Every structure is written in structure tokens, then in C-alpha cells.
Amino acid sequence: MKKEDLYFKKVNETYNFLKKKIPFFPDIIITLGTGLFSLGEKIKKVEVFPYEEIPHFPIPTVETHKGQLIFGYIEDKKIAILQGRVHYYEGYSTKEITFPLRVLTLFKPEIYIVSNAAGGLNLNFRSGDIMVIKDHINLIPDNPLRGISNEEWGPRFPDMSNAYDKELISLFKKTAKELREEIREGIYVVVPGPSLETPAETKFLRMIGADAVGMSTVPEVIVAVHAGLKVLGISVISNVNDPDNFKPIVFSEVVEESKKAEKRLERLIKEFIKKLKI
Ligand code: HPA
């Protein structure tokens, strides 16, 4: 069997496995990344599937990512949460990374909310800031849509001009204003990792227009846009990298900093979901 055919087969197998077991078809899919798990604990849970019990789901190798798929309600909205993700730096291809999301898109949800921890490149940023993503730059030398196209899933050449939905961004900003939370807006660049950036690389990433750098999210957003979902992306700025005054980036501190913003982000996302008209 060709590699692509095998991928289609696996996606369908997992879709059929879940279809029989899930309590409802979700309207919103959320991916919770590094240090941002608490929202997954606050949801009114109906069903929980550890990733290892779902056929073909990739298993995270990073300790900070538990890995479970949660179905439940936030403000009476039907939600599926991917609590924990795998990354390109773990050795997975971007097709493998996006496998769980691809399966969930077959249930025809409307909205995808994705969060991550990122390094600040914009020197106005501070650690603990919450940044809504307005656009991205893909520096991973791979694309989850590479290979034979399946028109049932989406177009060969998906338009990315409104990848991060403008209406969702403005609703998120409105929510933040009402809750008196200051938020940032910026461009997220993804690097392959796992080594962190050198000062010279940091300078380069600033020059190409990025405000924050991380190692996730972009493959998932490409798949979500391909499947016709509206996307809201949020970065928690865990550290700020100044190329002219470069401090070592300690990954355990990255996780700690992102945890500090957890409560604020949780409140924002809950209120945002409440306002969604779906
Ligand atoms: N660089 C890349 N990825 C990151 C960083 C960083 O500084 N901080 C959190 N994720």
C-alpha cells in the first residue's frame, strides 16, 4: 500500500473507532500545549480517552505533555480537547503531528483554538504576556499536506490569507478588554527545534518579521485551515530573547512561566467561548 493510502486508512480507522464511542460531534476543538493544561481540567468532562488507547494516535515523548482526548462542555458548547501534543523535534513528521486533529476535523467542527508557549522576539513583550496570533511563518522543512491530495479533506492549494480568523481575533480582543486583560498581537514563527535559537538566529527571526518563536502549532493550523475551520491561536510568552543581551533559555523555566499565565488564559478562553455564536 502507498504511504498516503495507508495514512487515509489510518485516519478513517481512528475516525470510526471514535465515532462509536464519543458522546457528541464537537463544534470546537482545542489543543492545549506546554504548561497550559488546566483548562482541560476545568471542562465539564463527559468522556476521556488517553492517547495510548486510541488507535494510531502519536504518543508524546515529552514529560510535560500527558496526552489525552477529552470530550465535554464549556458553557454548553460541545468541545473536544487535545490535551498534549507531539512535536516535529520528537521525530514525528508533520502528518503524524496533525493526525489527531485531522481525525477530529472529520466530525465537521467549526472552530479550532490552539495554544502554545513561545519565546518573545518583540522586545516590547514580557514573560507572562498573552499574544493572539495574527499570522505565522513556517520554518519547519515539511508540510502536513505534502503528498497525494484527498479532495474530501480539503483543496490541493489551500488559501492562507485569513488563516487566523479576523472575526475570532477581534472577539478575543473584545473579551480581553472586558476582562481588563492586556493582550498582545503578533506573528508566530515555528522552528524545527529542539535546540533553542542562537543570538544570530534570533536576530534573523526578528528581521523576517516574527514577534514570537516556538516549535509547534503551525502544522496544526495548516490542517485546520485546509479542513475549513476558523482558527484562533494564542501564545503565552514564556521568555523574551534579546539578541543584543542574550540570556540562556532554560526549558524548565519556560514551562514555569507559561504556567503563571494559565489562570488568566483560562478565564479569557472560557469567556471567549461563551460569546461564540455556535
Ligand atoms: N524558542 C523556541 N521555542 C520556545 C521558546 C524559545 O525561546 N520559548 C518557548 N518555546
- Measure the CA–CA gap between 217 and 234, rounded to whole angstroms: 10
User: Residue 183: how many CA atoms within 13 Å on its side-chain side?
Assistant: 29
Whole-number pLDDT of residue 260: 81
Q: Give the start-end residues of each E strand in the chain.
A: 28-32, 44-50, 68-74, 77-83, 111-120, 130-138, 184-190, 212-214, 230-240
Looking at ligand 1, which residue's alpha carbon is closest to its atom 5? 119
Q: How far is the CA of 252 from the centre of ligand 1 (A)?
A: 11
Whether the upstream peptide bond of residue 194 has omega within 30° of 0, thus cis, is yes
Q: Which residue has the cell 485516519?
A: 11
201, 236, 238, best to mutate for ligand 1 pocket (most atoms within 8 Å of CB): 238
36, 62, 133, 196, best to mutate for ligand 1 pocket (most atoms within 8 Å of CB): 196
To the nearest 10°, report the CA torsion of 82, 241, 179, 136. Answer: -50
- Measure the CA–CA gap between 255 and 214, rounded to whole angstroms: 13
- Measure the CA–CA gap between 227 and 274, rounded to whole angstroms: 24
Domains and CATH numbers, the chain: 3-275 (3.40.50.1580)
Q: Kindly tell me the sign of the dihedral angle through the C-alpha atoms of 130, 167, 173, 38.
A: negative
Q: How far is the CA of 14 from the centre of ligand 1 (A)?
A: 32
Buried b (16+ CB within 10 A) or exposed e, 188-220: bbbbebeebbeeebbbbbbeeebbbbbbbbbbb
- Measured N-to-C along each axis, helices 166-178 and 262-275 cross at an angle, to the nearest 10 degrees, of 120
Looking at ligand 1, which residue's alpha carbon is closest to its atom 9? 118
- Closest-CA residue to 104 (of 80, 70, 74): 80
Whole-number pLDDT of residue 63: 62
pTM given for the model: 0.95
Q: How far is the CA of 50 from the centre of ligand 1 (A)?
A: 27
Question: For the chain, how long is the longest CA-to-CA vector?
Answer: 55
Quote the DSSP letter at residue 266: H
- Closest-CA residue to 271 (of 117, 113, 128, 125): 113
Atom of ligand 1 nearest to the CA of 214: 3
Q: Which residues contact 11 (CB under 8 A, 6 or more apart)?
A: 56, 99, 102, 103, 106
Cβ atoms 176, 131 nearer than 8 A: no
Looking at ligand 1, which residue's alpha carbon is closest to its atom 2? 214
Whole-number pLDDT of residue 65: 55
Cβ atoms 33, 113 nearer than 8 A: no
Whole-number pLDDT of residue 169: 98
pLDDT in tens, the chain (278 residues): 777 789 999 999 999 999 999 999 999 999 998 767 778 888 888 999 999 999 999 988 876 556 899 999 998 999 999 998 999 999 999 999 999 999 999 999 999 999 999 999 999 999 999 999 999 999 999 999 999 788 899 999 999 999 999 999 999 999 999 999 999 999 999 999 999 999 999 999 999 999 999 999 999 999 999 999 999 999 999 999 988 888 888 878 777 877 888 889 999 999 999 999 88
Taking CB atoms and a 6 Å cutoff, what residues make up the pocket around ligand 1?
117-119, 196-197, 213-215, 238-239, 241, 249, 254
Looking at ligand 1, which residue's alpha carbon is closest to its atom 6? 119
Whole-number pLDDT of residue 33: 82
Q: How far is the CA of 133 from the centre of ligand 1 (A)?
A: 15
DSSP alpha helices (H): ranges in 143-261?
A: 166-178, 199-207, 218-226, 251-260
Looking at ligand 1, which residue's alpha carbon is closest to its atom 10? 118
Atom of ligand 1 nearest to the CA of 120: 7
Q: Which amino acid is at 89?
A: Y
